[in-house]
Amino acid sequence: MRIFLVGMMGSGKTTLGRQLATQLGYTFVDLDEYIERREGKSIAQLFEQEGQEQFRLKERQALEAVVQEYDQAVIATGGGAPCFLDNMQFINRSGKSFFLDVPVEELVNRLLNSDLSVRPLLAGKSTEELNHFMTKTLSERLWFYRQAHYTLSGNIQTSEALLTLINYI
């Protein structure tokens, strides 16, 4: 079985995905890291050198490659991945999907405590700009994220989220 985690930057896909994979004995794949390895460039470099449109094409190719490569895996998708091309349909056809629906205020808190420079869409933003960007982007993306098979809502601790997810699987 393939398990896909979708949601905004800071929603905990990488953190939760890694732990879930360990618990299930599945391979963990972080789509951003997979792209970085395939391309030999960081996500920030890809955005800077090739632009977002080209990145989204590479992201789709990587998604297809991951599905080809792994039958039993927990896959943390990139924050934007489900919202371009027909990626969300492809995800839903390829496994079970979970939307980590974390309130914007909490996303902003978490992101302010992390390294913004590795996230090219957020790099250099002030707290106010970050708030505005995250609110606007979430409202544009909700339609896609809500197509996930399951939703985990709220600011919940990773350990609790893990238990809930395992119950759904």
Ligand X SMILES: Nc1ncnc2c1ncn2[C@@H]1O[C@H](COP(=O)(O)OP(=O)(O)OP(=O)(O)O)[C@@H](O)[C@H]1O
Ligand Y SMILES: O=C(O)C1=C[C@@H](O)[C@@H](O)[C@H](O)C1
Which lies closer to ligand X via its Cβ, residue 14 or residue 147?
14
- What one-character DSSP code corresponds to residue 154? S
Q: Minimal CA–CA distance to 141: which of 3, 4, 9, 2?
A: 9
d(CA 50, CA 120): 12
Evaluate whether 9 touches 109 at the Cβ level (below 8 Å).
no
Which lies closer to ligand X via its Cβ, residue 68 or residue 157?
157
126 is annotated as contributing to ligand binding: no
d(CA 99, CA 91): 12
- Sign of torsion over alpha carbons 164, 67, 78, 147: negative
Residue 23 touches which of Mg ion, ligand X, ligand Y, none (Cβ within 5-8 Å per kind) = none
Residue 9 found at the interface with ligand X (CB under 6 A) = yes
127 is annotated as contributing to ligand binding: no
Among the listed residues 1, 2, 12, 14, the single contact to Mg ion using CB under 5 A:
14
Q: Which of residues 112-141 bind ligand X (CB under 6 A)?
A: 113-114, 119
| Interface residue list for Mg ion (CB under 5 A) | 13-14
Residue ranges at the known binding site for ATP: 10-15, 119
